[in-house]
């Protein structure tokens, strides 16, 4: 049974006092007020939740400090930016592979051909969305195309440049010619069904990061499919049954090794975890994660 919401708004100073009443150690109340002003009490609440000994009464474990909660918040913010860096490079790569293979197998305007889609209605939805994104684009190459050519949309290698990762994922998922699906997936050393699942999942992860939402211990509603026999050995490094971030990071590492073989993304992620002294179990990292091949440094 629902009831009216009667809690009043309170000042930043009162918010700090409330945290102290509940057992949080606040070494510098003025500094805590500053962070609550610019981050928001409710947003910070997601990060002190694991420090609560009694959630119903919002009592903290003895010794819980505001600084520890803030450290976790800062880690999560830096983690989102780090994850976005990898997703950006992978997204650009998949766009390129998708456009190249479709153009060579089905022609420069393959995206205008509904016969290469599993579901025509979904193809039309994707085409409408792509047309809208092209119409809103102020890219020079889009304007040049409109002035000089008669087709409804630019060729696929140009149109792909204004596609979001979510739209790219939906185009690939609805692509019917198996040889094209497999050719794209081969770039990343996985089965085509695995790549389709990974793209759906990474789109969700990307949106989580882009909207500044909590990432570190989130349970995702769309989980990625575990790799099968290929690439060899990767499924043994997978956290099977997990809905948390660890498998997303494994995907990013595997793909980064392909699209940017001299990357330092792995090193940066490990340093981030170490600098903030993060308990990785909240992201479903296995206990032996640092010994697994995917986490080993491959570049000096």
pLDDT digits (tens, 9 = 90+) for 281-294: 999 999 999 999 99
> Residue 252: CB partners within 8 Å, gap ≥ 6?
83, 86, 87, 90, 202, 265
> Do 47 and 87 fall within a single domain?
no
With tokens 């909590």, the residue in question is: 214
295 has pLDDT over 90: yes
- Residues 271 and 224 reside in one and the same domain: yes
In a domain, 7, yes or no: no
pLDDT tens across 6-45, in order? 989 999 999 999 999 999 999 999 999 999 999 999 999 9
Condensed to tens digits (0 to 9), the pLDDT of residues 42-76 reads 999 999 999 999 988 899 999 999 999 999 999 99
What is the rounded average pLDDT for all residues in the chain?
A: 94
Q: Rounded CA gap, 60 and 272, in Å?
A: 26
Q: Could you list the residue range(s) of the whole structural domain that residue 50 is in?
A: 12-64
Count of the separate structural domains present in the chain = 2
Cα separation, 48 vs 17, whole angstroms: 15
Residue 1 lies in a domain: no
Does 60 lie in the same domain as 140? no
DSSP output for 138-152 = --HHHHHHHHH--SS
- pTM, two decimals, is 0.94
Together in a domain, 190 and 151: yes
Tens-place pLDDT, residues 247-290: 999 999 999 999 999 999 999 999 999 999 999 999 999 999 99
Give the model confidence (pLDDT) of 150-173 as tens digits. Answer: 777 889 999 999 899 999 999 999
């Amino acid at each position: 049974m629902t009831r009216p919401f009667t809690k009043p708004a309170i000042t930043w100073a009162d918010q700090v006092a409330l945290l102290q009443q509940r057992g949080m150690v606040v070494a510098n109340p003025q500094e805590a007020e500053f962070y609550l002003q610019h981050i928001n009490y409710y947003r910070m609440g997601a990060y002190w939740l694991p420090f609560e000994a009694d959630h119903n009464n919002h009592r903290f474990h003895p010794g819980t400090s505001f600084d520890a909660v803030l450290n976790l918040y800062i880690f999560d913010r830096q983690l989102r930016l780090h994850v976005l860096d990898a997703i950006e490079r992978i997204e650009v790569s998949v766009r390129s592979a998708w456009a190249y293979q479709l153009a060579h197998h089905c022609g420069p305007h393959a995206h205008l051909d509904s016969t290469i889609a599993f579901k025509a209605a979904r193809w039309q939805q994707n085409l409408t969305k792509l047309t809208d994104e092209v119409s809103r684009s102020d890219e020079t190459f889009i304007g040049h195309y409109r002035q000089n050519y008669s087709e409804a949309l630019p060729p696929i290698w140009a149109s792909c440049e204004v596609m979001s990762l979510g739209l790219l994922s939906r185009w690939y998922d609805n692509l019917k010619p198996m040889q094209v699906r497999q050719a794209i997936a081969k770039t990343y050393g996985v089965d085509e069904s695995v790549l389709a699942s990974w793209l759906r999942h990474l789109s969700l992860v990307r949106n989580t990061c882009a909207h500044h939402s909590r990432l570190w211990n989130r349970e995702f509603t769309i989980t990625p499919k575990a790799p099968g026999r290929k690439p060899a050995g990767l499924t043994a490094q997978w956290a099977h049954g997990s809905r948390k971030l660890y498998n997303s990071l494994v995907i990013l590492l595997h793909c980064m090794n392909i699209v940017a073989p001299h990357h330092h993304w792995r090193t940066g992620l490990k340093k981030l975890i170490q600098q903030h002294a993060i308990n990785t179990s909240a992201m479903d990292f296995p206990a032996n994660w640092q010994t697994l091949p995917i986490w080993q440094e491959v570049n000096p």
